């Protein structure tokens, strides 16, 4: 039963990735660039996001009036994971195509890459005792990449959160 569930999840997420690349290619590329250029920073930001999110959601729920905002924030966290996994899948697909000396359309490379990431992560997740480790770390990196770039709308700076800017000249 678990094998079919892992395969089904991989197919669904790969199909969604193929659909998203048609509309959000620059944003997915920005998130992928942030993940590949700064994996430790994106993983750290993802871990921080996952650790702080329950406290923030709890504070929003306590106010009763902001329960809809809490629900939206949980949905945004799930979407950040999905967007980051799709960006990782695009990088995997492009590198796979380069390794076999092929030039694939972006739709094909993201579909194959995301399918492989989800399939491999799902099967590693089935291992007893340590199977949770790889999917969890990949999830932290995915969430961090999407969070760091605000879902690909901004470039990630050299330090992660702050976009690179020109130094301000001293006042005279």
pLDDT of 162 > 60? The answer is: no
pLDDT at 161: 52
pLDDT at 164 over 70: no
Contacts of 93 (CB under 8 A, 6+ apart): 104, 108, 109, 110, 111, 112, 113, 114, 116
pLDDT digits (tens, 9 = 90+) for 103-134: 999 999 999 999 999 999 999 999 999 999 99
- pLDDT, the chain, mean: 92
- Domain residues of the chain, as ranges? 10-20+45-148
In the predicted model, what is the mean pLDDT of residues 153-158?
A: 82
Residue partners of 113: CB distance under 8 A and separation at least 6: 17, 88, 89, 90, 91, 92, 93, 94, 95, 96
Q: Which helix (H) or strand (E) holds 60?
A: helix 39-62
């Amino acid at each position: 039963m678990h094998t079919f569930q892992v395969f089904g999840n991989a197919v669904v997420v790969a199909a969604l990735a193929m659909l998203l690349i048609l509309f959000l290619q620059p944003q997915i590329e920005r998130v992928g660039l942030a993940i590949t250029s700064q994996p430790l920073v994106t993983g750290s930001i993802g871990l921080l996001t996952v650790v702080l999110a329950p406290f923030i959601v709890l504070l929003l729920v306590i106010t009763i009036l902001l329960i809809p905002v809490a629900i939206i924030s949980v949905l945004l966290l799930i979407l950040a994971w999905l967007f980051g996994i799709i960006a990782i899948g695009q990088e995997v697909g492009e590198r796979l195509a380069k390794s076999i000396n092929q030039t694939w359309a972006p739709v094909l490379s993201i579909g194959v890459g995301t399918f492989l990431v989800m399939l491999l992560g799902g099967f590693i997740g089935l291992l007893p005792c340590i199977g949770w480790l790889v999917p969890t770390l990949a999830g932290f990196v995915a969430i961090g990449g999407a969070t760091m770039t605000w879902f690909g709308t901004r470039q990630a700076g050299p330090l992660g959160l702050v976009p690179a800017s020109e130094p301000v000249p001293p006042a005279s």
